[in-house]
Amino acid sequence: MEKATLQELLESRLKDIFSIEIAEASPQELFLALANVVKSCYANDWSQTRKNLLVEQQKQAYYFSIEFLPGKLLKSNLLNLGLLDTAEELFEELSFSLDEVAEVEKDMALGNGGLGRLASCFMDSLASLGLPGNGNGIRYNYGLFKQKFVDGHQVELPDDWLRAGNVWEVRKESKAVDIQYGGEVYLIEDENGRLRPERHGGYVWRAVPYDTGMVGYQNDMINTLRLWSVEVPAAEEANYATIESRRSLEDLTAVLYPDDSNERGKKTRLMQEYFFVSAGIQSIVRYYLKLNHPLTMMSEKIAIHINDTHPALCVSELMRLLLDDHDLPWEQAWAITVKVMSYTNHTIMAEALEKWPIDLFKEVIPRNYQIIEEIDRRYLEEYAEVHEAALLNRTRIIIDGQVHMAHLAIIGSHSVNGVAKLHSDLLKSVVLHDFYLIFPERFNNKTNGIAQRRWMQLANQPLSKVLDTTIGKSWRHNPQDLQLLKNYQEDPTVLQRLADAKLTNKQALAEYIQQTTGIEVDPTAIFDVQIKRLHAYKRQLLNVMHILKLYFDLKDDPQAPIHPRVFIFGAKAAPSYHYAKAIIKVINEVANLINHDPTINDKLKVVFLENYNVTLAERIIPAADVSEQISLASKEASGTSNMKLMLNGAVTIATLDGANIEIRDAIGDENIAIFGLTEEEVYAYYAQQNYSAYAFYEEDPVLQRVVNAFIDGTIPNIEREGREVFDSLLKYNDEYFLLKDFKSYCDAQYRVDLAYKDQQRWQAISLMNIANAGKFSADYTVQNYADDIWQIEPLYAHVKEPNSASLT
Ligand code: 26Q
């Protein structure tokens, strides 16, 4: 599209909506008008994609996820439509900044962290590969809370993201479905001797879908992200006359649960899970029936993916529809279900595995509960001859009055995958070992990937331009072409250009830091970044301990040859996670102490940026020199910020955990700073139960000084929090082995400092990170899901030149 055409469209939208000219428009008005233009640019392709799908009848995948975390969509849609450069030029010509306009858009933050962001990266890749794949989730009225710091403490504010409306969504009233909750279900024999469920009591709520187009990268493919919102069924308005009755209904899709590990036993959470599952499965079956094929062939047209256990009810809900509404015999229904379903596990932490009390299940979803009991009974029966009773009793679905969601998902799926090699291996050997004995063929690995278009082309234009001029533009379509950069490892001009791009990004971040926190940081310092949810296992505290060590080194010798560093944190803690909030307070107070200590002379700065989210990630990642990936080995399933930071040229300091291992394998030991216990060593400590935090404390005076700092008054205002940290390390024997890994972490940090001082070497390492990041494109990951698990193919009728994703 020509610039002039875009301008005309924009002008006419501004007239239509606001009756104003471009020159008088505010950023808000420009945003809304431009977003509407963008929407109209893909409207036709969206309906064409749907029509082609109906005509071609190709198999489609449905990605069920209780979280999606797309962030902002304007620039990503412009990029994918091939309009970004044009729009940028136009706005410049009109003396506006597109960035300022894009900034107006509210982040769509319907997720907590890695799992939700992964779902959105996958949506982008599905469309960009021309694959028929849709998202299914919940349209929360409030996304993840906004984080503020008051006195160094985290305070949570509601995220009222829909207040000004959401331009991208389309309400599809005609596609609404009813969701049944509660009541009692009796099984009554019909005239053919078949047991039929009869429901007494209970209530029906309405699920209304809001669809958002998922725009493929320059291929005219538009998939659909379908999010469900609760409403009073039309026929029942009279029953919801009181404010209280309405409120309890509206609560259902009001807020995202802000815990990214586990909220135990909350009825609303279970109702949410059933809500989007039932709505999604009903709409899929309805669609499938339109194709006029027998239900027994469903797995040839439909693949349903269960993203972690939150949508595990897909299994029992599809069974319910096939049995109760479509009269299939159990065996047929079960065969269909297992062929259709697949499941991804995202966590190793035993305490995070989802379980529900059976009483709650019976109360909320009685018919599903009956079906789950029957699945469980038949599971025990079917495998009784092949496996020992003890094994079956450990793997059955209902154990000690609780429904184990992972067990339901595994038994009901033909594929179970982890999200990085180590994680998938640990699923087989430890966490899900019992299931591996029974269903070895179901287990596989799909290492996570990231939407590189967003994390490079959109977030890092300075570096993208350097890449274009150095290796050409093919990397924009084929991420593996980033490898071409390897030819320039020793080319000082290219290395200098990379350094210049990094500096530009650091200057921009420094300005943001100055504006939002008042802290001055020097863009020539090392920007050392840890951005992720706050969790004990991710060990932000280990980072803090190293910062304190450097602080003491400088106090002892203000001339110590340490290259200036800015430590940057971004992290939200679950509101109920007391210890994580204590760590936030501690980091903020350490920042206060160090940033205001004149003897440190600005050699160290600590910056904890508020409200870490997708948009803030897009600011921080391009400016990072060092990427902190320091979880205790075996605990981080994959990590994905590690991939984003690598792609943007940050050098990683990491334990051999999650995808860090694959990153190391891709770039070689010389281009990453590895430290700490290995997974085997961690498990050996568990087996021998001989870890003593105190022993490490006792023998290392440096460590002693650092740990004591939490309680000896060195850090002001952390009387309570400092004590909690101190006790977790010594009294409770340091669950995540920080004291054990401290020394080797400090050594690795020292290597990083040395490497940075040799700028030529540093830039070459950074270059190698960028050059080898292509393999972590979500395009490859999604292609692997498509080939191995879903068996879906690009929509042939539609895609002219599908973006290829073969890792050669
Ligand atoms: C469960 C029950 C009740 C309430 C909340 C939850 C809940 C919600 C979110 C449990 C877990 C999550 C999110 C988990 C998550 O984000 N895991 C991360 O997934 C990434 C993508 O695979 C990995 O890279 C990370 O390693 C993993 O921690």
755-778, pLDDT tens digit by residue? 999 999 999 999 999 999 999 999
> Does 654 map to a domain?
yes
- CB of 262 closer than 6 A to ligand 1? yes
Does one domain contain both 600 and 727? yes
Distance 252 CA to ligand 1 centre (A): 21
User: Does residue 589 fall inside a structural domain?
Assistant: yes
Q: What is the pLDDT of residue 261?
A: 83
**Cα-only R_g, the chain:** 27
581 CA → ligand 1 middle, Å: 18
The CATH number that applies at residue 373 is: 3.40.50.2000
CA of 260 to the centre of ligand 1 (A): 5
Residue 261 CA, ligand 1 centroid: distance in Å: 6
> Taken in order 486, 487, 489, 492, is the CA torsion positive or negative?
negative
**Residue 782, token pair as written in the block:** 């999604």
User: Same domain for 503 and 564?
Assistant: yes
Question: In this structure, is residue 669 part of a structural domain?
Answer: yes
Alpha carbons 74 and 616: distance in angstroms, whole number: 16
- 607/657 same-domain check: yes
Long-range contacts of 268-271 (CB under 8 A, 24+ apart): 270/356, 270/360, 270/361, 270/364, 270/365, 271/181, 271/364
Which mutation among 66, 118, 261, 426 tests ligand 1's pocket best, with the greatest number of atoms within 8 A of CB? 261
The answer to whether residue 33 is domain-embedded is no
Ligand 1 pocket, residue 259 CB under 6 Å: yes
Kindly tell me the sign of the dihedral angle through the C-alpha atoms of 763, 765, 771, 776. Answer: negative
Count CA atoms within 13 Å of residue 729 on its CB side. 29
Ligand 1 centroid from CA 561, angstroms: 41
Query: Residue 245 has what pLDDT?
Result: 87
State how far the Cα of 781 lies from the Cα of 779, in Å rounded to an integer: 6
Residues 443 and 580 in one domain: no
Residues 405 and 459 in one domain: no
pLDDT at 315: 99
Which pLDDT score is estimated for 677?
A: 98
Q: Residue 96 falls within a domain, yes or no?
A: yes
Whether 657 lines ligand 1, by a CB cut-off of 6 Å, is no
- How many Å lie between the centroid of ligand 1 and the Cα of residue 339? 25
Check residue 218 and report its DSSP letter.
S
Pairing of strands 68-71, 565-570: unpaired
Buried b (16+ CB within 10 A) or exposed e, 735-761: ebbbbbbbeebbebbeebbebbeeeee
pLDDT recorded at residue 804: 58
Q: 194 and 237: one domain?
A: yes
Number of the ligand 1 atom closest to the C-alpha atom of 117? 21
3-class state of residue 526 by DSSP: strand
Burial 448-467 (b: 16+ CB within 10 A, else e): bbbbbbbbbbbbbbbbbebb
Pocket test for ligand 1, best of 68, 117, 346 (most atoms within 8 A of CB): 346
CA distance 699 to 673: 25
Ligand 1 center to 421 CA (angstroms): 18
Q: Give me ligand 1 centre to Cα 280, in Å.
A: 21
| Amino acid 601: pLDDT | 86
C-alpha distances out from residue 145 to 59, 183, 256, 456, Å? 37, 34, 9, 27
Together in a domain, 440 and 482 = no
The answer to whether the CB of 640 is under 6 A from ligand 1 is yes
Q: Is the domain of 176 the same as that of 242?
A: yes
What pLDDT, on a 0 to 100 scale, did the predictor assign at position 234? 87
- Both tokens of 452, joined, read 């590189």
Catalytic positions, please?
Answer: 346, 532-533, 538, 640, 644
| pLDDT tens digits along 412-448 | 999 999 999 999 999 999 999 999 999 999 999 999 9
Q: Which residues of the chain have pLDDT under 70?
A: 797-808
The reply to whether ligand 1 has any atom less than 6 angstroms from the CB of 639 is: yes
Same domain (yes/no): 414, 563: no
Whether residue 270 lies inside any domain: the answer is yes
Residue 353's domain spans which residues? 61-448
Same domain as 491, residue 593: yes
649 backbone φψ class: left, alpha, beta (φ>0; ψ -120 to 50): left
Q: Which of 429, 448, 467 is at the close of a domain?
A: 448
Query: Does any ligand 1 atom lie closer than 6 A to the CB of residue 273?
Result: no
* Separation CA 478–CA 493 (nearest Å): 24
Ligand 1 and 709: CB distance under 6 A:
no
Residue 26 within any structural domain of the chain: no
Q: What is the pLDDT of residues 78-116, one digit of tens each?
A: 999 999 999 999 999 999 999 999 999 999 999 999 999
The structural domain count of the chain equals 2
261 close to ligand 1 (CB < 6 Angstrom): yes
Q: Report which protein residue has its CA nearest ligand 1's atom 1.
A: 262
Amino acid 808: pLDDT: 46
Count, residues in the chain: 808
- The Cα–Cα gap between 37 and 17 comes to 12
Res 1: pLDDT: 87
Check pocket membership of 637 for ligand 1, CB cut-off 6 A. Answer: yes
CA 785/CA 767 separation, integer angstroms: 30
Question: How far is residue 39's CA from residue 42's CA, in Å, rounded to a whole number?
Answer: 6
- 497 and 441 in a common domain: no
Nearest alpha carbon to residue 346 among 582, 638, 111 = 638
434 and 479 share a domain? no
pLDDT at 348: 87
- Ligand 1 probe mutation, 63, 68, 112, most atoms within 8 A of CB: 112
Q: Which residue has the tokens 């902002």?
A: 72
Question: Is residue 257 within 6 Å of ligand 1 at its C-beta?
Answer: yes
How far apart (Å, rounded) are the C-alpha atoms in residues 277 and 135? Answer: 12
Q: Of 407, 425, 448, which residue constitutes the final position of a domain?
A: 448
**Ligand 1 atom with least separation from CA of 352:** 10
48 lies in a domain? no
Q: Tell me, what DSSP letter sits at residue 800? A: S
pLDDT of residue 351: 81
State the burial class of residue 440 (Cβ atoms within 10 Å of its Cβ: 0-12, 13-18, 19+): exposed
